[in-house]
Structures are given as structure tokens and as C-alpha cells.
């Protein structure tokens, strides 16, 4: 297997979250009255351990750098709730607000996140998210650190042009995926001299037998595949693609998820299939090395 060196790691995602959170904490602190202790709240569901770790690390980074806040320290107030339980999320949010936090970080769940944003808008309380969805409408009091879909789309399209694909098939899960891939879809513009043939096929919701769809791709003899779906689906898709010989040295995959680090690709390491993903941070940069030294990935 040839894994493209654009792959992400959990530590790198943590760095993105932590660095942005540091900036946000410092920004809020500078415009506030600079109390001795600045409380920053975070709301996480029970499955958001990496995000919670990154948040706690960001607090430590701010407090370790005394040139940033020389007379104040930042403390975290963390609350957790069961995933997709908006009622309990609301109760936890009230607890954070009563604690006097200067801003709110999270959560990841779409339902809970929309509710939190509504409350923070009403209270004029800063709110930061790490996720993106095409229906998300940022307000004057919120910020999303997830890359905008147009930026990701340009990156995917640039990669495809760079490696010289002449045709490809997009396997996508939701309509949101097509929003992310607008720049890739535009590659098929017939008015361009370098137009690329693009075919789209949607994964059936709730169906985990991908063989019929994969067999269609094999029959078409297409060897370039863009895979846009939840990372939890990817292992099953790759396993079934391997069963019908779609993971050979003739095949190239571009996986759009930024969670490639969560996928075990060990079983494909002896194959010549090319699987490419993206990462948000250069792990060789000074900032990344400093972060990894203080908070090594486990």
C-alpha cells in the first residue's frame, strides 16, 4: 500500500484544535477585564475524547506561556453529556453559564451544537465549534475552526490535477459530500481543455453491502476513486473493495475525511494500491514538534 503523505494524525488534529483554542482564549481575555482567573467552558459528548484532550492541552499551553497572560491564568470548566441528548446538553450548558465562563467550546453533535449556538447568541457568549455542516450559519459570537468546504474542495481538485487523473468516480454518502466536492465536480467542465470525466455514485443509507456498487465501478474499469463518507464506513468499503480486487496497484483512492488516523490500514500495507488522505498541520513544523513534545500522541 502506498499511503499518500497528506494523511492526518490524531495528535495533529489536536494541535489544530488546541492552537485555535489558545488564540480564542487569549483574544477573549484581552478584551475582557482581565480577572486573575479566566474560566473557559467546554461541552463534550461522551465520545469526544480527542477534542476534550485537545481542549485541556490548550489551557495548559496558555498557562505555560507567561508572555501571553502575565497576570492571569485560564481554568477549564468541562461538562459531558450522552451523545444526541439535547436535554442533558442544555442542563450542562446552564451549569457552565452559571459558573461564569468567558466562552464555550464544542460540542461535536449537530443537534446539541445548534442548540448551544442559539443560547450563546442570545447571551452574546463566544462559542467555538470544531465541526462543519452545510446548514451551519455562523453568528457574530461563533467561530468554526473546521476548514470551509470550498477550501477543502480546492485542495482535492488541485491534488487530482497534480497527479494527472483523466477520469474518476465519486462515492459519496450524503448531499453534504457533494457540497464539499463542488470543485472536483467542476473538473468535468467541457469548456476546459483539461476537462476530467467525473461520475458520481451514492452510498445507500443503512446498507453496508457495498459490493454491488463496487462491482459497477470494476465493470466500468475506472481506477480513480474519490471516497467521501463517514470514517466509520471506510474500513468496510475498503475490505469489500479488496474482496473484488479493487485494491490493486492500478487503483488510486482519494479519501476526503480528515480522520485517516482512526482507520487501520495495516492489512493493506503490502499492496500497491495508492490511498491518499489530507492532514491540516505540517508535523515537521516547529509549532507541531513543540506540541508533540509536550503532549505526545498515545
CA distances from 179 to 101, 173, 182, 186 (A): 35, 12, 5, 11
Cis omega (within 30 of 0) for bond into 107: yes
State residue 200's pLDDT score.
94
DSSP characters over 215-247? HHHHHHT--EEEEES-TTTHHHHHHHHHHTT-S
Spatial distance between the Cα atoms of 171 and 236, rounded to a whole number of angstroms? 14
Given a cut of 80, is residue 172 above it in pLDDT? yes
Per-residue pLDDT, averaged over 145-164, amounts to 89
The model's pTM: 0.76
State residue 10's pLDDT score.
47
For the chain, domains (ranges, CATH) are: 10-147+285-294 (3.40.50.2300), 149-276 (3.40.50.2300)
Percentage of the residues of the chain whose pLDDT score is greater than 70: 83
Average pLDDT of the chain to the nearest whole number: 82
**Number of helices (H), then strands (E), in the chain:** 10, 11
Spatial distance between the Cα atoms of 104 and 128, rounded to a whole number of angstroms? 6
Given a cut of 60, is residue 30 above it in pLDDT? no
With bands split at pLDDT 50, 70 and 90, how would you rate the model's confidence at 219?
very high
Given a cut of 80, is residue 120 above it in pLDDT? yes
Spatial distance between the Cα atoms of 276 and 187, rounded to a whole number of angstroms? 19
Lowest mean pLDDT among 81-85, 153-157, 196-200, 220-224: 81-85
Half-sphere exposure of 190 (CA within 13 A, CB side): 0
CA distances from 247 to 43, 241, 265, 270 (A): 40, 6, 12, 11
Greater confidence (298 vs 149) lies with: 149
Half-sphere exposure of 202 (CA within 13 A, CB side): 9
Greater confidence (154 vs 65) lies with: 154
Percentage of the residues of the chain whose pLDDT score is greater than 90: 32
State residue 221's pLDDT score.
94
Per-residue pLDDT, averaged over 104-133, amounts to 80
Given a cut of 60, is residue 272 above it in pLDDT? yes
Amino acid at each position: 500500500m502506498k499511503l499518500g503523505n497528506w494523511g492526518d494524525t490524531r495528535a495533529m488534529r489536536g494541535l489544530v484544535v488546541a492552537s485555535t483554542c489558545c488564540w480564542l482564549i487569549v483574544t477573549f481575555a484581552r478584551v475582557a477585564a482581565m480577572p486573575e482567573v479566566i474560566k473557559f467552558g467546554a461541552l463534550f459528548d461522551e465520545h469526544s475524547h480527542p477534542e476534550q484532550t485537545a481542549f485541556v492541552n490548550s489551557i495548559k499551553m496558555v498557562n505555560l506561556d507567561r508572555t501571553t497572560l502575565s497576570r492571569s491564568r485560564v481554568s477549564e470548566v468541562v461538562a459531558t453529556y450522552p451523545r444526541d441528548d439535547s436535554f442533558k446538553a442544555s442542563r450542562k450548558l446552564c451549569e457552565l453559564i452559571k459558573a461564569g465562563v468567558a466562552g464555550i467550546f464544542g460540542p461535536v453533535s449537530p443537534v446539541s451544537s445548534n442548540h448551544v449556538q442559539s443560547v450563546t447568541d442570545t447571551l452574546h457568549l463566544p462559542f467555538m465549534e470544531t465541526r462543519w455542516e452545510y446548514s451551519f450559519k455562523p453568528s457574530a459570537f461563533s467561530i468554526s475552526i473546521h476548514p470551509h468546504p470550498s477550501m477543502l474542495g480546492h485542495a482535492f481538485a488541485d491534488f487530482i490535477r497534480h497527479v494527472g487523473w483523466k477520469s474518476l468516480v465519486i462515492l459519496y454518502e450524503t448531499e453534504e459530500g457533494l457540497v464539499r466536492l463542488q470543485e472536483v465536480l467542476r473538473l468535468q467542465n467541457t469548456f476546459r481543455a483539461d476537462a476530467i470525466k467525473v461520475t458520481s455514485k451514492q452510498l445507500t443509507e443503512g446498507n453496508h453491502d457495498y459490493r454491488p456498487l463496487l462491482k459497477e465501478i470494476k465493470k466500468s474499469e475506472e481506477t480513480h476513486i474519490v471516497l467521501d463518507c463517514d470514517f466509520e464506513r471506510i474500513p468496510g468499503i475498503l475490505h469489500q473493495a479488496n474482496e473484488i480486487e479493487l485494491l490493486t496497484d492500478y487503483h488510486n483512492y482519494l479519501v476526503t475525511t480528515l480522520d485517516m488516523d482512526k482507520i487501520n490500514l495495516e492489512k493493506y500495507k503490502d499492496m500497491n494500491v495508492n490511498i491518499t488522505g489530507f492532514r491540516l498541520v505540517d508535523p515537521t513544523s516547529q509549532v507541531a514538534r513543540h506540541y508533540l513534545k509536550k503532549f505526545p500522541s498515545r
